């Protein structure tokens, strides 16, 4: 199911942070939902994790928010819409993971920064308001983002909270996963097993999961599934329990 103007859910999750939630099925079968997230920075610029199509309603809202200055690709598989965002906002910088570079080369899209190839201490210009942690040991090479002023963690595939109820709320369907229902969440065994199995470097995963656990966040905005409005730190430590206690 594609992200149309009619089924895109746009809301201000907290002051200055807007989400763009859409239906999406993994492998065309499993309801995962998709979500882009935009943050209004103090100087009026906009930082956007671009993970869904730039349809008309999304573009209109971003225009209201301000000047899009950063377009973010959160991991090696969330790259499909970076090119269309860059075409719409040619002056914005595209920052993504190095593992996605080859996948967008045919679009003649070049990154202005790349986690995984840049030095680990590289600063991209938004760090005064948004911190980041690159998970080099994760299968999809994800980056976690932290917005301290709103106590919000933003991420792509590091943590799921399914079913994607909000993302399917305008489709007339529940978004529940066949047979699994709502068990793919940070508190369940299946999620712990999933993040353990997708950790290709356990020591690096422990290091980076510990870094994120040290951040003072209350809310988690995932790309897949519902926003966790409170007790986000507990959700994270539950999902990554096997790393944090290893």
pLDDT in tens, 156-171: 999 999 999 999 999 9
**pLDDT tens, residue by residue, 82-94:** 999 999 999 999 9
Q: Closest Cα partner for 144 from 58, 86, 217, 85?
A: 217
* pLDDT at res. 24: 85
Check pLDDT > 60 for residue 135.
yes
Backbone angles phi, psi at 223, to 5 degrees: -75, -25
Q: Quick one: pLDDT band at residue 97, thresholds 50, 70, 90?
A: very high
Q: Quick one: pLDDT band at residue 180, thresholds 50, 70, 90?
A: low
Percent residues over pLDDT 70 in the chain: 95
* pLDDT at res. 246: 85
* pLDDT at res. 63: 97
**Position 122 in a domain:** no
**Position 3 in a domain:** no
C-alpha torsion sign, points 107, 70, 96, 111: positive
Backbone angles phi, psi at 65, to 5 degrees: -75, -35
Check pLDDT > 70 for residue 1.
no
**Position 179 in a domain:** yes
Tokens of residue 87, six digits = 């075409």
Check pLDDT > 90 for residue 226.
yes
Instruction: Residue 142: give the domain boundaries.
Output: 9-114+134-244
Please state, in angstroms and rounded to a whole number, the distance separating the CA atoms of residues 37 and 53. Answer: 12
* pLDDT at res. 197: 98
Q: Closest Cα partner for 73 from 61, 88, 84?
A: 84
* pLDDT at res. 207: 98
* pLDDT at res. 51: 97
* pLDDT at res. 61: 98
Please state, in angstroms and rounded to a whole number, the distance separating the CA atoms of residues 21 and 10. Answer: 6
Hunting for tokens 């002023």 — which residue is that? 149
* pLDDT at res. 191: 95
**pLDDT tens, residue by residue, 35-70:** 999 999 999 999 999 999 999 999 999 999 999 999
Tokens of residue 205, six digits = 């995963």
Check pLDDT > 60 for residue 181.
no
Check pLDDT > 80 for residue 26.
no
Q: Average the pLDDT over 124-148 and give the result.
A: 98
Tokens of residue 192, six digits = 């712990």
The pTM score is 0.95
Is residue 6 within 8 Å of 23, Cβ to Cβ? no
**Position 129 in a domain:** no
Mean pLDDT over all residues of the chain? 94
Helix/strand/coil (H, E, C) string of 21-62? Answer: EECCEECCCEECCEEEEEEECCCCEEEEECCCCCCHHHHHHH
Check pLDDT > 80 for residue 193.
yes
- Cα 22 from chain centroid (whole Å): 13
Q: Closest Cα partner for 33 from 12, 16, 19, 17?
A: 19
Q: Closest Cα partner for 170 from 72, 57, 15?
A: 57
Tokens of residue 213, six digits = 């656990």
* pLDDT at res. 179: 62
**Position 239 in a domain:** yes
CATH assignment of the domain containing 68: 3.60.15.10
Please state, in angstroms and rounded to a whole number, the distance separating the CA atoms of residues 202 and 117. Answer: 20
**Position 123 in a domain:** no
* pLDDT at res. 182: 58
Q: Closest Cα partner for 163 from 31, 10, 2?
A: 31
Number of domains in the chain: 1
């Amino acid at each position: 199911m594609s992200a149309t103007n009619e089924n895109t859910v746009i809301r201000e999750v907290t002051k200055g942070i807007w989400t763009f939630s859409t239906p999406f099925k993994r492998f065309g079968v499993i309801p995962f939902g998709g979500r882009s997230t935009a943050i209004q920075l103090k100087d009026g610029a906009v930082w956007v994790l671009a993970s869904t199509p730039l349809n008309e309603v999304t573009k209109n809202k971003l225009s209201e928010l301000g000047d899009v200055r950063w377009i973010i690709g959160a991991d090696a598989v969330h790259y499909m819409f970076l090119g269309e965002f860059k075409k719409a906002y040619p002056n914005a910088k595209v920052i993504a993971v190095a593992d996605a570079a080859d996948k967008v080369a045919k679009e003649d899209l070049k990154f202005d920064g790349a986690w995984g190839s840049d030095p680990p201490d590289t600063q991209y210009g938004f760090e005064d308001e948004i911190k980041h942690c690159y998970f080099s040991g994760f299968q999809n090479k994800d980056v976690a983002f932290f917005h301290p002023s709103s106590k919000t963690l933003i991420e792509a595939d590091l943590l799921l909270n399914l079913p994607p109820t909000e993302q399917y709320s305008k489709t007339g369907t529940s978004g529940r996963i066949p047979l699994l229902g709502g068990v793919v969440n940070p508190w369940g065994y299946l999620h712990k097993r999933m993040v353990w199995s997708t950790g290709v470097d356990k020591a690096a995963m422990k290091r980076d999961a510990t870094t994120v656990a040290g951040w003072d966040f209350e809310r988690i905005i995932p790309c897949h599934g519902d926003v966790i409005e409170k007790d986000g730190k507990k959700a994270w430590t539950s999902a990554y329990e096997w790393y944090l206690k290893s």
